[in-house]
């Protein structure tokens, strides 16, 4: 069994296990950091004939007992990362997805296989110290993430390995308050998550607080329609008297397939 190794990356923590010349990378921490559905990402990897053959559940030794995690070898990690469609993830995570796809493999490779004295680092090429030398706050975040994923025993080992002061147990991170969802984001989410991506206008309006004016919601809907992300669906009136109901349909996915 290999030892759990942590690698700082853009303020995040990458978890890897090295056995001889083979480095395996834990996938779930990456999926969680990118706000991805871990179950869906694991199924995607299992459907791929290359990735499926490389998936291995590794057991990590710790004083509190073995810890298990799903891993991929470093050399095929880009195949899994590039399978993530940045256009389909949450808007606030898209830039981070691209950063992982562009830089994650190189950072891990340099950490494990390129000696520092052989890198030939010049002053102009010197990495940002904030990225290579984590601060005390970043170290505590790394420990908190390790505890969430692998348990208290593994977190205690990391606390000691990072040179943090001796304590009974790692200092827990204060809970972070998630940012408030905007009117635009909530409208998009409600339509997108509705059954078959369709929702009646009256039902959509009922999902908002009384503080939201209809004029504001209409402006958001018109913007989504103008961008081609939402379309209005005609529902046959049948024998009803009066105007037919207005139904909004999520259309972004259909347009994306049409361009491919």
What string of H, E and C letters represents the secondary structure of 146-158? HHHHHCHHHHHHH
Please tell me the predicted confidence (pLDDT) of residue 65.
61
Q: How many CA atoms lie within 13 A of 206 on its CB side?
A: 5
Largest CA distance in the chain: 81
Query: How far is Cα 71 from Cα 49, in angstroms, rounded to an integer?
Result: 16
How far, in Å, CA of 235 to CA of 199, rounded?
12
The pLDDT value recorded for residue 214 is 73
pLDDT per position in the chain (260 positions), as tens? 567 788 898 888 888 888 888 899 999 889 988 999 999 999 999 999 889 999 998 876 555 666 678 999 998 999 999 999 888 888 888 899 999 998 998 888 888 887 655 445 443 344 444 444 456 666 666 666 666 656 676 667 767 766 766 655 445 555 555 566 677 788 888 888 888 888 888 888 888 876 677 777 787 788 778 878 888 887 665 555 556 678 888 886 544 333 33
- In this predicted structure, what is the pLDDT of residue 218? 80
142/128 Cα distance (integer angstroms): 19
- Domains (ranges, CATH) in the chain? 3-161 (no CATH), 183-259 (1.10.10.10)
Q: Per DSSP, which regions of 64-183 are E strands?
A: 67-73
Q: What is the pLDDT of residue 141?
A: 65
CA distances 154 to 61, 66, 184, 224, Å, are: 8, 9, 41, 46
pLDDT score at 111: 87
Instruction: Provide the 3-class DSSP secondary structure of residue 22.
Output: strand
């Amino acid at each position: 069994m290999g030892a759990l190794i942590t690698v700082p990356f853009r303020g995040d923590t990458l978890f890897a296990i090295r056995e001889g010349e083979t480095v395996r990378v834990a996938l779930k921490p990456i999926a969680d950091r990118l706000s991805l559905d871990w179950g869906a990402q694991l199924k995607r990897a299992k459907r791929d004939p290359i990735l499926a053959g490389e998936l291995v559940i590794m057991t990590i030794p710790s004083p509190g007992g073995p810890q298990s995690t799903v891993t991929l070898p470093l050399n095929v990690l880009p195949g899994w990362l590039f399978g993530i469609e940045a256009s389909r993830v949450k808007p606030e995570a898209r830039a981070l997805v691209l950063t992982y796809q562009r830089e994650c493999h190189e950072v891990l490779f340099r950490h494990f296989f390129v000696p520092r004295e052989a890198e030939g680092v010049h002053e102009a090429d010197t990495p940002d110290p904030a990225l290579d030398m984590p601060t005390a706050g970043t170290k505590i975040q790394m420990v908190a993430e390790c505890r969430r994923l692998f348990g208290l025993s593994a977190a205690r080992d990391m606390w000691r390995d990072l040179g943090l002061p001796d304590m009974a147990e790692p200092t827990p991170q204060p809970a972070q308050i998630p940012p408030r969802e905007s009117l635009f984001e909530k409208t998009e989410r409600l339509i997108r998550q509705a059954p078959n991506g369709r929702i009646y206008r009256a039902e959509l309006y009922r999902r908002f607080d009384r503080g939201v004016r209809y004029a504001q919601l209409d402006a958001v809907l018109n913007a989504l329609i103008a961008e081609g992300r939402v379309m209005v669906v005609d529902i046959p009136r049948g024998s009803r008297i009066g105007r037919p109901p207005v139904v909004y349909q999520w259309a972004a996915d259909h347009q994306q397939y049409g361009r491919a």
